[in-house]
């Protein structure tokens, strides 16, 4: 099965003179943008067209065909190569994407299953242990969750599920866990 590529990306940081640690002569350096793919939460390194200056949190088209601002996708960006600006923008970008795709994340809570006989996908969400997991499973049997607010209202003392998903996605981007729920 062919992996679907990213079509759009959110700019996390724009380096008009390339990386500061790049010791090539100035005329050889190219502008670089660090970005987050909107479909699979992929960290990407983009090379913008010469005449364009990109802004943090700007959404750019990186798919097939004519691209307005981006010359080409240089490749995947390793988390340890991210700039401090990009690291700070990452959380805001992930929050924004979750806000746009709430139905997808509600589906996760309504349909997720066991990973092993002793572990459930819901338990991988930070702040949600066995007790909350069982409450979520029982509540979704009665009626599927409609929103994060609905979840918080029906399950006592549940940590904010939206913030917990943001933490989970960032930890997956940083390769802190072998299981991938949201990042492909």
Residue 23, pLDDT score: 83
CATH architecture of 101-173: Orthogonal Bundle (1.10)
Residue 3, pLDDT score: 55
Q: What is the pLDDT along the chain (184 residues), one digit of tens a residue?
A: 345 688 999 999 999 988 888 888 877 888 999 999 999 999 999 999 998 999 999 999 999 889 999 999 999 999 999 999 999 999 999 999 999 999 999 999 999 999 999 999 999 999 999 999 999 999 999 999 999 999 999 999 999 999 999 999 999 999 998 999 999 8
For the sheet with 70-76, list strands across it: 59-61, 8-15, 32-37, 43-48, 70-76
Residue 1, pLDDT score: 36
Residue 150, pLDDT score: 95
Domain layout of the chain by residue ranges: 8-83, 101-173
- Whether 8-83 shares its CATH topology with 101-173 is answered no
Q: How far apart are the first and last CA of the chain?
A: 14
Alpha helix (H) ranges present in the chain? Answer: 84-100, 102-111, 130-142, 148-154, 161-173
Instruction: Compute φ and ψ for 60, nearest 5 degrees.
Output: -125, 150
Give the three-class secondary structure for 59.
Answer: strand
Closest by CA position to 146, among listed 113, 103, 181, 112: 103
pTM for this predicted structure: 0.89
Residue 26, pLDDT score: 79
CATH architecture of 8-83: Beta Barrel (2.40)
């Amino acid at each position: 099965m062919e992996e679907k590529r990213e079509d759009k990306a959110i700019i996390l940081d724009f380096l008009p003179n390339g990386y500061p640690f790049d010791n090539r002569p100035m005329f050889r350096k190219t502008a670089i943008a660090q970005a987050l793919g909107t479909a699979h939460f992929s960290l990407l390194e983009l090379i913008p067209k010469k005449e364009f200056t990109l802004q943090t949190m700007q959404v750019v088209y990186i798919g097939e065909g004519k691209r307005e601002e981006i010359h080409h996708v240089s490749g995947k960006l390793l988390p340890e190569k991210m700039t401090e600006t990009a690291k700070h923008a990452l959380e805001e970008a992930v929050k924004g994407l979750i806000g746009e795709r709430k139905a997808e994340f509600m589906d996760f809570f309504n349909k997720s299953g066991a990973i092993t006989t002793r572990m459930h996908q819901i338990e991988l969400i930070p702040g949600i242990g066995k007790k909350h997991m069982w409450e979520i499973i029982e509540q979704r049997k009665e009626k599927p969750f409609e929103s994060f607010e609905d979840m918080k209202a029906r399950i006592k003392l549940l940590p904010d599920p939206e913030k917990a998903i943001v933490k989970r996605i960032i930890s997956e981007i940083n390769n802190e866990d072998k299981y991938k729920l949201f990042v492909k």
